[in-house]
Amino acid sequence: MAVLNKIRQRSLFLILIIALALFSFVLTDLFRNSDALFGGSQDVVATVNGTNINRVEFMNRVEQMQSQLGPNSTSTQAMNRVYDQEVRKAIMASQFENLGLSVEQDQMKDLLKQSFSSYPELQNEAGIFDENKLTEFVNNLKALNGQSAPLGTFQINYQQWVSTENNIALGAQERAYYAMVKAGVNATLGEAEVDYMLENATRDLNYVQVPFTSIADSLVEVSKSDITKYISAHKDKYEVEASRDISFVEFKEVASVEDENNLKADLLKLLDNQAVFNEATNNTDTIIGFRNTNDVENFVNSNSDITYNDEFVTKSQLPKTEADTIYNTPVGGIYGPYKDGGFYKLSKIVAETQMPDSVKVRHILIPHIGAQSAQPDVTRSVADAETLADSIKTVVTTNPSKFPELVTEFSSDQGSVNNGGEYDFHPITQMVKPFSDFEFQNNVGDIGVVKTVFGFHIIEILDQKNKARAVKVATIARKIEPSEKTIDATFTEASKFELALQKENFQEAAKSRDLDVKPVNGIKILDENIPGLGSQRAIVRWAFEDGTRIGDYKRFSIPSGGYAVVQVVKATKKGLMDAESASATVLTEIRNEKKADMILGKITGTTVADIAKNQNRATSRASAVNMKNPTLSGAGSEPKVVGAAFGLAEGEVSKPIIGNKGVYVVEVTKVNETTTLDNYQAIANRLSTARANAAQTKVYNALKETADIEDNRARFF
């Protein structure tokens, strides 16, 4: 009681302590996330030229986009697609505003008419687009308060309609904008003349090349300061995004040998009858086994991960590695267990027959309303189509010579109608199943009516080839999966490795446990897939978190089952690439610069022949070299060398020229000037078309490159 009294006496003090602790916690979180404290962009996905992209609206659009892209898409893919659209919209909006480009009311009406004139909901009784119907439809959508209404073959709500209108207006503005751009990129006659001269004026050359490879790399010293200096001088080439390098060890949940042996044992238990005590009746029941069952289909479906297939199959359709054994098993015989495609299987031969490997047929297809590929003018019901097919069958059975005539009159299969309805020899896999079943399981001369998704077929079997044994196989398949014991063991192994990293180096800990360390370099902040692990956005987010440091590690679950223990190996900040990272690409360029200086210091002589001799190199020739395609035969693309050659007179020798692959000295042996044209309009038109085709992409890329974009997506995804 004394203790309780003391607590009561000091309750105000305790409340103050708790309040201060909570306040401290809140302040800590606020300072950690300074955007929340100082009014930052917590609800802004991106800012483009001062225009904010709101998080809530953006997330709604991402949800819609993911629905459109289908189940195989990820939220990151949908997010990137919406982001690109929103950035484009914001960039172009600033251009439209500067130019005063807008879509007026009358123009918008015309645009809506162009887009929706074919929709019945917006047409009058005469089937003509009606503005009053459009107004009525939009007002109705607005009144539905977010609920959808049908429009054509899809559903749309008011918000989606507004978005659609905005996109239509944006499209019209873009077309107007790019039309003006394209009008300004037309080539002049002067430009056309220059283009003609660049392509057709040529030079014949003698040259000597002293390649950079003539000096061994080991003779050229490149220091770290050389690399840093080179990067600074070529900043545009070595600007990089923020990235992370990681290493990971994967612990897969894979079935063990024991798991597989247990699975095979379970399958073998299904073969024979089993005596099972029934607690409800207090009797011993006999469970019929796979070997003795008379209801094969139900037995398979009750015990297999793959349902029963009631079809005859040829040898080529059986599992390749086991085909011979299964095919040669007699009716009633069982083969297995055997491993096939991630399953262990038991296969029983249920029946056998003789089937051809290919068949030639002719048919007449009678479609009905709702049949696949039926044309809009098909009004025949299913019952009417069946009645007509039966009537045609009666006719062709009595008089087969009428078959081609009836094909022309009734068949809707455009793939065969011009060939009298015939399909030449084809395998069992070519036609839809009911069609194939009839043609492969009946005899030459048989005529029948078969219903498929396309309608009713009147089929006549014209010929069959290579009849051979076909078998009906009942297969019990069990997927090979890790047991609970194996899953627990995998978790334990991953946990032990993670604990070991508290004392051991990541690489050494993995090596001592015979684990494979896999590196992944250059991960960007918005990446989703980790090579070798699949979709792992959680790993990427963790690697870029403010609190994650080089050397930190963490365990993650992986989609295929199991775990990955991941360590951050390197963190690269946005900006210029560091010397170590750039060295792989920079070394060759720096060496070549130094080699060029070394070669220049050794070149003596005034003619190509003299220089070739003292450098112990061969003299080469290049004929009809032009400026538009500056290539030297035997040396490849060398624009600097060819450009220098065009500045020389016939017989003149150049000074040493540093090219892409070495140092060159060139002699012009012949100047081939081209004849002028009377008119360059055709060339101007060609250049104008090429520029106009490329203008839209190039202009937008240029606008995006110069735009002020703050990308905050990584905060939300």
Provide the pLDDT for residue 701: 93
| pLDDT the model gives residue 253 | 95
Residue 122: CB atoms within 10 A of its CB come to 24
pLDDT in the model for residue 9 = 46
pLDDT score of 14 more than 50: no
Residue 242 CB partners (closer than 8 Å, separation 6+): 524, 525, 544, 571, 572, 573, 574
Q: Model confidence over 418-444: pLDDT tens digits?
A: 889 999 999 888 899 899 999 998 999
Q: What is the pLDDT of residue 367?
A: 93
More confident residue, 678 or 25: 678
- Residue 30: the pLDDT is 38
pLDDT band of residue 280 (cuts 50, 70, 90) is confident
What mean pLDDT is reported for the chain?
Answer: 89
Class of domain 243-254+482-573: alpha beta
pLDDT for res 39: 42
Q: Is 349 helix (H, G, I), strand (E, B) or coil?
A: strand
Structure tokens at 106: 């009358």
Q: pTM to 2 decimals?
A: 0.66
Angstrom distance (rounded) from CA 315 to CA 318: 5
pLDDT of residue 61: 85
Answer yes or no: is pLDDT of 481 > 50: yes
Residue 579: half-sphere exposure toward Cβ, Cα within 13 Å: 10
Chain centroid, CA 557 distance in Å:
24
Q: Which helix (H) or strand (E) holds 248?
A: strand 243-252
DSSP symbols for 620-641? EEEEEE-SSS-EETTTEE-HHH
pLDDT band at 31 (very low <50, low <70, confident <90, very high): very low
What's the confidence (pLDDT) of residue 41? 55
Percentage of the chain with pLDDT > 70?
94
Position 8 pLDDT exceeds 60: no
Tens digits of per-residue pLDDT, 624-643?
A: 999 999 999 989 999 999 99
584, pLDDT greater than 90: no
For the segment(s) 202-238+580-672, the CATH number from 2.40.160, 2.40.128, 3.10.50, 3.30.310 is 3.10.50
Helix (H) or strand (E) run with residue 140 in it: helix 131-143
Model confidence at 678, pLDDT cuts 50, 70, 90, reads very high
Is the model's pLDDT at 149 over the cut of 50?
yes
Q: What pLDDT does residue 247 have?
A: 97
Residue 644: count of CB within 10 angstroms of its CB: 19
Residue 475 to residue 329: CA distance in whole angstroms = 13
Task: Give how far Cα 60 sits from Cα of 65, 84, 568, Å.
Answer: 9, 15, 34
Mean pLDDT throughout 543-549? Answer: 94
Phi/psi of residue 204, nearest 5 degrees: -100, 135
Position 479 pLDDT exceeds 60 = yes
Q: What is the pLDDT of residue 40?
A: 47
Q: Give the amino acid at 218.
A: S
Q: Distance (Å, rounded) from C-alpha 55 to C-alpha 378?
A: 49
Tell me: pLDDT of 171 over 50.
yes
Mean pLDDT, residues 23-47 taken together: 54
Class in CATH terms, 358-465: alpha beta
Give the pLDDT mean for 383-403.
94
Q: In whole angstroms, what is the distance from residue 378 CA to residue 554 CA?
A: 63
Q: What is d(CA 161, CA 155) in angstroms, rounded to the nearest whole number?
A: 10
